[in-house]
Structure 1
Amino acid sequence: MTAAKPAKNQLRVGRLVKAHGLKGALKLELYTDDPDGRFVPGAAFTLQVPEHSQWHGETITVREFRWMNQQPVVFFEGVDDRNAADTLVRAILWVDEDEDAAAEPDAWYDHQLVGLDVVRAFPSGDRVVVGEVARVEHFPAQDLLVVKTGEDEVLVPFVAAIVPEVDIEGGRVVVTPPAGLFEELPEAEPTAPAEAETPEAED
């Protein structure tokens, strides 16, 4: 089953990685620069979970947010024990678009990215348009830009090392992909085995 897709006007702000303790707490992986402002009591989030999950199509409300050993931990209303918390592990949290969300650096909505030119930057300084962003796929580990290149699609990990620049106003994203992501690498020529030297016959 696939996970429910967020609406185009929503921003991903966190992922629930594991249950913590016995009272329903969950450790968070943060995708926001303002967790203390985002996860205030009463804040509601849309859940991205697999279709078979009991939380599919549901929203959830923060009861308490705190830092434990420098790790962000959140409690939700109606999630009162570890068993309930376990049902939310790996869920992704989304919020509706608002002015505060739009102001966060390095955070973009899917609809802002779709249609942007994908420009490949080479070590020589050359830049070439190689396609355009067709859609964004969201996974627990990382997001992927699906780049349309002619009749093909290339999955580009949406991480700073590979996508160092997003220019919404300029209508492009700049990529520095590893060799082989956008092109087939030539097959290595097989090397002939070295001929064994035969000892010279003694006189």
Structure 2
Amino acid sequence: MSADPDDLVVVGRIGPARGVRGDLFVAPFTDAPEERFAPGAVLRTDPPSAGPLTVISSTSASGKLVVHFDGIDGRPAAEALRGVQLVVSAADRPPLEDPDEFYDTDLLGLTARTVAGEELGPVSDVIHVGGADYLVVQMDAREQLIPFVAAIVPTVDLAGRSVVIDPPEGLFEV
């Protein structure tokens, strides 16, 4: 499935300024921050009025990503960007080699159904906790965590916009 170029995904969020020259701490939401925030990279922003921003340099300080953007010179200009999200087109993401791996954003909105065909509701989030992944399915007035493992989620059909859930006994009991 190819991503719609109008679909945007967040790859980072700008945090506080670092120092007085316009450097910014950035919380990266990408597996490859060294590529996404490489010098010359152009990132769109949310809100759009804050960008686009071109990376001049990126380093790390105390294990945190520090980025300097073109035209952001001085602490006041940097502080004005605090909280801005950095986004790219979903189509610009590298393709996944493993057919059993998915981008979280591709799973959002898929309709969850049981193996018997009963519709459960839409996938509203994907949570990664302690080495385990969970789909959050909006079932009526409550959210249900579904372990995202092949034994419980045997089928992900991106083209058909659905996931099949084979719930073990007691999964949906409160």
Alignment TM class, shorter chain as reference: 0.5 to 0.7
Following TM superposition, where does structure 1 have runs of at least 4 consecutive aligned residues deviating by more than 6 angstroms? none
> Which has the larger strand fraction?
2
Q: CA deviation at 1:168?
A: 4.1
Q: Secondary structure of 1:56's match?
A: helix
1:130-169 residue pairs with structure 2 within 5 A? 130-133=120-123, 149=139, 162=145, 164-165=147-148, 168-169=156-157
Q: What is the TM-score with the length of structure 2 in the denominator?
A: 0.62
Q: CA deviation at 1:46?
A: 1.2
Q: CA deviation at 1:69?
A: 1.8
CA contact (8 A) 1:11 1:108 kept: no
Q: Deviations over 1:123-163 (max 9, x none)?
A: xxxxx853114x77xxxxxxxx996655x6x678xxxxx56
1:1-203 residue pairs with structure 2 within 5 A? 8-49=6-47, 56=49, 58-98=51-91, 100-103=93-96, 107-109=103-105, 112-118=106-112, 129-133=119-123, 149=139, 162=145, 164-165=147-148, 168-169=156-157, 171-172=162-163
User: Following the alignment from structure 1 to structure 2, what is the Cα–Cα distance between the partners of residues 87 and 129?
Assistant: 45
User: Following the alignment from structure 2 to structure 1, what is the Cα–Cα distance between the partners of residues 50 and 77?
Assistant: 17
Instruction: Give the number of the structure whose alpha-carbon radius of gyration is greater.
Output: 1
AA matched with 1:31: F
Q: CA deviation at 1:57?
A: 6.2
Q: Percent identity?
A: 30
User: Following the alignment from structure 2 to structure 1, what is the Cα–Cα distance between the partners of residues 146 and 10?
Assistant: 18
Q: Deviations over 1:90-123 (max 9, x none)?
A: 11111123464443966333xx335412469xxx
AA matched with 2:90: E
Uncovered stretches (5+) of structure 1, i.e. residues with no partner: 1-6, 50-54, 121-127, 137-144, 157-161, 175-181, 186-203
Uncovered stretches (5+) of structure 2, i.e. residues with no partner: 126-134, 166-171
CA contact (8 A) 1:116 1:173 kept: no
Q: Secondary structure of 2:78's match?
A: helix
User: Following the alignment from structure 1 to structure 2, what is the Cα–Cα distance between the partners of residues 24 and 155?
Assistant: 42
User: Following the alignment from structure 1 to structure 2, what is the Cα–Cα distance between the partners of residues 58 and 82?
Assistant: 17
Q: What is the TM-score with the length of structure 1 in the denominator?
A: 0.55
Q: Secondary structure of 2:38's match?
A: coil
Q: Deviations over 1:49-106 (max 9, x none)?
A: 3xxxxx6263111111111121110000010111001011111111123464443966
CA-atom RMSD in angstroms: 3.6
Number of residue-to-residue matches in the alignment: 142
